Every structure is written in C-alpha cells, then in structure tokens.
Structure 1
Amino acid sequence: MATSTRTPLSQDKPLPGFIPGDLAWHLGMILRGHQTLFAQAVEEMPCSVRGYQMLSTVVHHDPANQQALGAHLGIDRTVLTYLIDDLVAAELVERVPAPTDRRARKIVATDTGLKLLEKLEKRVADAEQTLLTGLDAGETAQLAGLLGKLSMSVHRAQPGANPCEAMDHLG
C-alpha cells in the first residue's frame, strides 16, 4: 500500500496566521460588532438598518427607479414596497414618476430625509470608528482598501448575493 505525500487541500495554501475556518469566525465577530453598533446608530430610523441603507442609496447612488433601488440593495420587490411605504409615511422619501418611464416610480429623498440622513451618517461614522478603535489610521485605510477589493471580487462572482440577507441569517 502506497502512502500519499500530498497534504489535504485545506493545507495546500492555508491563510497565513489562520487555522482553516478561522476566517469565518473573525468575519462573523466583526460583522456582529458592526451590526450592533450600526443598529444603535440608526435606531430612530424607520425600518432601522434597511431604512438607512435605502435612504443612503437614494441620496448617494440615485437609482433610476424603484426596481433599480431594490436590485442595488438585493431586496425583493414586494418587501421593498413595504419598506418604501414606511419611509414615505415618515416623510423621508417620496415616489415621483421616473424621468425615463412615466409608468415607473423613482424614489427621492425629501428635505426631512436629507436632514435625517446627514445626522445619522455622523452617528454611523462614529460607530464605525468605535469598531476600528484597535487599528491605527494606516491599518484602517489598508483594511478599507482590502475589504473593498475582496467584497467586489465576491460580488462579481456572485452578483445576486444579498448582503442584507447574510446579516439577517447571522445566528
């Protein structure tokens, strides 16, 4: 009987400084910490984190219509309708005819929505700084760059992946 000299696949290229599986634990802890601080920062926002993400997307990404907003956030259109209804009721956004298709609706922020977003963005920035307290400025910049690069790589490989759903399923 011949013995194999090949190491198991997980040992061929282990992550430096990680036991296979440790990456998931580290990412989970970071996500849990961020989720907690983020939710606290936006607690006055209707629909909490999702409401904040919707308002931020409307303001900073200017999606062409309601469907584009849902696609950007990975939110099912039936759920999206209820979330938008809540933001409309709070007078944070309004539905207007989309310039390119009068049958479609574009979601735009109201003055009240813009003021609330500005206030909450400061709180979210403070929460993110709290999360990154253990890193110096150079390490924070390096982490931001690496996370952006990695997340876009995952997004290209799995374009339908929904980050909101991933957070919802944290056990």
Structure 2
Amino acid sequence: MAEITLNSPAAKAAVPGDLGWHLATVLRGYQTRFETAVAGIPAGIRGFQVLSAVVHRDPPNQQALAAHLVIDRTVLTYLLDALVEAGVVERVPDPADRRARKIVATEAGRRTLTEYEARVASAEADLLSGLEGYQAETLGGLIGHWANAVHRAQPGANPCEAMDNL
C-alpha cells in the first residue's frame, strides 16, 4: 500500500469538509462492527463501556464512573441496573463515603469482559485490515493523541452523542 504524505496526490486531493466525511465513514464502519461484537452483552455498547471502565479504570464511586464516561447519572443508573441484574457488576458501599456506591465487576463480569474484548479486538482488526500493520499502529497512536487533545479542549463533550447523531 502506498504511503500517504502531505505532498502525495491523495493528500492534495482533499478539500475542506472531506475530513468530516472520512471520519463519519470510519465511525460508521466502527459502530457497525462494534455493535455486532458486543451483541448479547447487557445494555449493548454502553454496557460494554461501563463494564470496561469499571474493570480497567476502577473509578472510586458511581459519580466518578458517570463523569468518566460522560453519561448522565440517571442513564447510568439504568445501565447499572441491567448489569447488576445480569450478575456482571455489583454496587458496594464506598469505604470512604458510605452514602456513595462503588461499582465493582464480579468474577462473571471479568470473564464476560474478557470474552467481549476479544470480539471487539477482532472487529477493530477487521476494520483496520485495509492498512499495513505499521499504518494501523501509527493511526491508533495518532487518533489517541488527537482524541486526548480534543477532550482537553472540550472536557464536557459527550462522545456518545456523536455516535447517536451519526
């Protein structure tokens, strides 16, 4: 696959507005694969995101989890109800504040997350299959860096809205 640089014909052909179309196209491809990969997990994509954040980010309480995911507390309550009912997370009193609740994954939840992470990784690999390995790795690093910069500039922006409005 030919490398695209700032002076390559592919880069010169871009016009203002193309970036948005390209991002939307990639996002739609990702969303389709992601939805398929997490089909069956309680509460779908958002359930996966909650379970992943609980396991990998270990937020100190439910409020911190909502803030991390930029999910309204009311919506998070419904998501957590579904995950608790499925036996993948549980609410436990926060040792620092007995009025607050910490969300922890159960052993079944950790196994569930491992299974679904493998599915998501496969879906992501499928989406990136049009790129050479080094290109996919570079793209992942650049997008991560870019996303963090955008998040710092707009910390309250809800990434789920972009998916919902796609």
The two structures share one fold, judged by TM-score above 0.5 = yes
> Which stretches of structure 1, 4 residues or longer, exceed 3 Å deviation after superposition?
none
1:73 aligned to 2:69?
yes
Pairs aligned (count): 156
Deviations 1:101-131 (A, max 9, x none): 1110000000111111000000000000000
The equivalent of 1:34 in structure 2 is 30
Deviations 1:57-76 (A, max 9, x none): 00000001000001000100
Q: In the alignment, which residue of structure 2 is the partner of 1:164?
A: 160
Give the structure 2 partner of residue 55 of structure 1: 51
Structure 2: state its 5+ residue gaps: 1-10
What is the TM-score normalised by the length of structure 1? 0.89
- The residue that corresponds to 1:104 in the other structure is 100
Matched, 1:84 2:80: yes
Residue 16 of structure 1, CA deviation: 5.0
Counterpart Cα distance in 1 of 2:85 and 2:39: 17
Counterpart CA distance in 1 for 2:138 and 2:45 is 26
Specify the code of the residue in structure 1 equivalent to 2:108: T
Offset of 1:17 from its aligned partner?
4.1
Q: What value does the CA root-mean-square deviation take over the aligned residues?
A: 1.0
Give % identity.
61
For residue 149 of structure 1, the aligned residue among 142, 145, 151 is: 145
Measure, in 1, the Cα distance between the counterparts of 2:126 and 2:43: 23
Gaps of 5+ in 1: 1-14
TM-score (norm 2): 0.92
Which of residues 133, 137, 150 is equivalent to 1:137?
133
CA distance in 1, matches of 2:81, 2:63: 14
Query: C-alpha distance in 1, partners of 2:25/2:90?
Result: 37
